[in-house]
Amino acid sequence: MVAPALLSPRTPSPSARVPAATLIRGFGGNIPFRCTRSRLLFVAPSLRAPESYPLRAGSSNLGMAAGAGGVGSPERDSSPTAYEESLNCLSSLITRRTRADGTNKGDNFDLMFDYLKMLELDGPISRLKVIHVAGTKGKGSTCAFTESILRCCGFRTGLFTSPHLIDVRERFRIDGVEISEEKFLEYFWWCWNRLQEKTNDDVPMPTYFRFLALLAFKIFSAEQVDVAILEVGLGGKFDATNVVQKPIVCGISSLGYDHMEILGNTLGEIAGEKSGIFKQGVPAYTVPQPEEAMSVLKDKAFQLGIPLHVVSPLDSGALKDLHLGLDGEHQYINAGLAISLSRAWLKETGNAEGINFQDTFVRGLTITSLQGRAQIVPDSHLRSQERNFSLGDLVFYLDGAHSPESLEVCARWFSHAIRDVTQHSDTQGEQHFAGHNASQILLFNCMSVRDPQLLLPRLVNTCAQYGVHFHRALFVPNQSVYNKVGSHVSAPADSQHVDLSWQLTLQKVWESLTHSEKDAGLSSTRDHEHSSVFPSLPLAIKWLREHVQQNRSTRFQVLVTGSLHLVGDVLRLIKK
């Protein structure tokens, strides 16, 4: 079964069209291909099923997809055109339902087992030695720490995380490196074509995240990783990654209020969904939790007859004057969980002997990296434009926090981070850096299913406790769109017709925190003394850069938070 027109692919120009039957040399002989519009179909009888690869008009790099064994095919077209076509196909799997649609729950989870059979992955997935991690806060960081530790122990690692910030390939790491474009295309089309061929009305194509999880299983199986670390996408019980029936060890990071429209309105309900990854006979680990959540986790573990190990945060002294690769005091909680998960995996797989736990684990913890979590990025574009001038700096502090608890943690990190570079404050509380004034600006957006009345006060009040007060807040819509995947996806060019009602709502909440209720009611305009709404992120970045040039004695410290999508959009723009 072929998707309708594959999102209306472009037909090659007449001069670039390929004959109906073309012979391509490879594997020691002539290989017949059949071209249908923008698709190239491999019809050699030696493979179990026809394969296809995107055909770029005028290209001589015609390739064929890998068989079940994975890599090893002739040179193929891995140009941006071929890659973008795969992303267009991936975009077609994104459902149009809102995150608050109650029918999301469960959503025919058993279909995942049908997909595994279609892809002949039910055997390979059972042989993967999986570490499965759920949680509200810190699950991505925990997975990153765990992967780094086991890689330093000498094992071939596979890491699946979400969401991606700039490129979808970030979700799939082999030995700490995101999968190459060539291999991504190879495995993507291997999965895509088989599913297109075998799905039907009763078993439709998998949705976006489910396809990505299936792709991760294919990649890790074909790449023969020693350990696969899987981060749950949302919840746990009905998450696509939970199709793994026998992981080696499970972990649950800090729990809090998030995705309540799907997971439940209480910590107990949320913990019940997260604990859905627990399996009989599989050791489970967690960190200190609120009593309501911990009670549910313990009950679930008791029902399954498994111990639930509660892990203390890592003692910073264990690092021997070194620092964690991920910044922030909260990361010691995630690091402690990662250490326990790594030890359990080594023990359960019989690989603990001969491992120098102290030195190897410390090295793994100190070299861990993960974009968009407590990340500091100077604006290199501005510096390159003005390197011969004396001017203030523009530095972005990026953290994808999007729940009340995580925003409090983010506020503490930001306050400490700017304190570390700030030499002193005067009696009015104005901060200075190496002879420059320091001005803190908030760049914020969040999804409309979240409550800004819970998010923004938590952020503002925590910063205020450390003497940090934002001089201005900027509210913008996300540059990327939720129904499109790609590294060049952007908002409509016509910024005059962008719906800014949500950003104006965020601004009103902000003004109520910094002004009287009377002033806060004037939210029909975009500009206030302490806040602005911009119709696009590029315009906000442009304003910041111009503001720096007009205030050369000031260092501008911009906290970007509220949404990992926003963080990814900012990274994409400032790294161009």
Closest by CA to 184, choosing from 118, 90, 61, is 90
Is 231 flagged in the annotation as binding?
yes
Which residue do the tokens 């491992």 mark?
355
Residue 383 tokens read as 């510096």
Closest by CA to 24, choosing from 42, 51, 47, is 42
- The domain that holds 448 is classified in CATH as 3.90.190.20
Q: Identify whether 406 is part of a domain.
A: yes
Q: Identify whether 88 is part of a domain.
A: no
Q: Identify whether 470 is part of a domain.
A: yes
Backbone angles phi, psi at 444, to 5 degrees: -140, 145
Q: What is the DSSP string of 7-68?
A: SSPPPPPGGGPPPSEEEEEETTEEEEEEEETTEEEE--TTSSS-EEEE--TT---------T
Closest by CA to 256, choosing from 408, 404, 452, 134, is 404
| Claim to verify: residue 212 and residue 329 sit in the same structural domain | yes
- pLDDT at 501 > cutoff 90: yes
Q: Identify whether 256 is part of a domain.
A: yes
35-84 residue pLDDT tens: 233 343 433 333 333 344 433 333 333 333 333 344 444 454 545 578 99
Buried b (16+ CB within 10 A) or exposed e, 392-417: bbbbbbbbbbbbbbbbbbbbbbbbeb
| Claim to verify: residue 344 and residue 388 sit in the same structural domain | no
| Claim to verify: residue 332 and residue 350 sit in the same structural domain | yes
CA separation for the pair 415, 399 (Å, rounded): 13
403-447 residue pLDDT tens: 898 999 999 999 999 987 654 444 444 444 444 689 999 999 999
| Claim to verify: residue 359 and residue 398 sit in the same structural domain | no
Q: Identify whether 385 is part of a domain.
A: yes
CA separation for the pair 462, 472 (Å, rounded): 16
Q: Which domain holds residue 280?
A: 106-367
Domain end residue (candidates: 325, 349, 367)? 367
Domain end residue (candidates: 367, 391, 415)? 367
In the chain, what percentage of residues exceed pLDDT 70?
Answer: 73
Mean confidence (pLDDT) of the chain:
81
Predicted local distance difference test score (pLDDT) of residue 98 = 45
CA separation for the pair 574, 576 (Å, rounded): 6
| Claim to verify: residue 471 and residue 354 sit in the same structural domain | no
Predicted local distance difference test score (pLDDT) of residue 482 = 52
Predicted local distance difference test score (pLDDT) of residue 382 = 61
Is 373 flagged in the annotation as binding?
yes
Q: Contact at 8 Å (CB) between 57 and 13?
A: yes
Is 450 flagged in the annotation as binding?
no
Between 235 and 54, name the one with better pLDDT. Answer: 235
Domain end residue (candidates: 367, 402, 418)? 367
CA separation for the pair 266, 260 (Å, rounded): 8
Is 399 flagged in the annotation as binding?
yes
| Claim to verify: residue 172 and residue 314 sit in the same structural domain | yes
| Claim to verify: residue 121 and residue 180 sit in the same structural domain | yes
CA separation for the pair 74, 413 (Å, rounded): 49
Q: For residue 259, give Cα distances in angstroms to 99, 164, 403, 451, 505.
A: 8, 18, 9, 11, 20
Q: Identify whether 387 is part of a domain.
A: yes
| Claim to verify: residue 564 and residue 444 sit in the same structural domain | yes
Q: Identify whether 91 is part of a domain.
A: no
Is 295 flagged in the annotation as binding?
no
459-498 residue pLDDT tens: 999 999 999 999 999 999 987 655 567 655 555 555 567 8
Which residue do the tokens 């760049």 mark?
443
Greatest Cα pair distance in the chain: 81
Q: Contact at 8 Å (CB) between 366 and 322?
A: yes
Domain total of the chain: 2
| Claim to verify: residue 254 and residue 385 sit in the same structural domain | no
Is the pTM here over 0.85, yes or no?
Answer: no
Q: Which among 121-130, 253-262, 383-392 has the top mean pLDDT?
A: 121-130
| Claim to verify: residue 288 and residue 422 sit in the same structural domain | no
H helix intervals, 161-290: 181-198, 208-222, 260-263, 267-274
- pLDDT at 510 > cutoff 90: yes
- pLDDT at 342 > cutoff 90: yes
Among 1-15, 84-98, 290-304, whose mean pLDDT is lowest? 1-15
Q: Identify whether 399 is part of a domain.
A: yes
| Claim to verify: residue 270 and residue 301 sit in the same structural domain | yes
- The domain that holds 298 is classified in CATH as 3.40.1190.10
| Sheet bearing 29-36, strands edge to edge | 21-26, 29-36, 39-42, 51-54
Q: What is the DSSP string of 511-522?
A: HHHHS-HHHHT-
| Claim to verify: residue 300 and residue 446 sit in the same structural domain | no
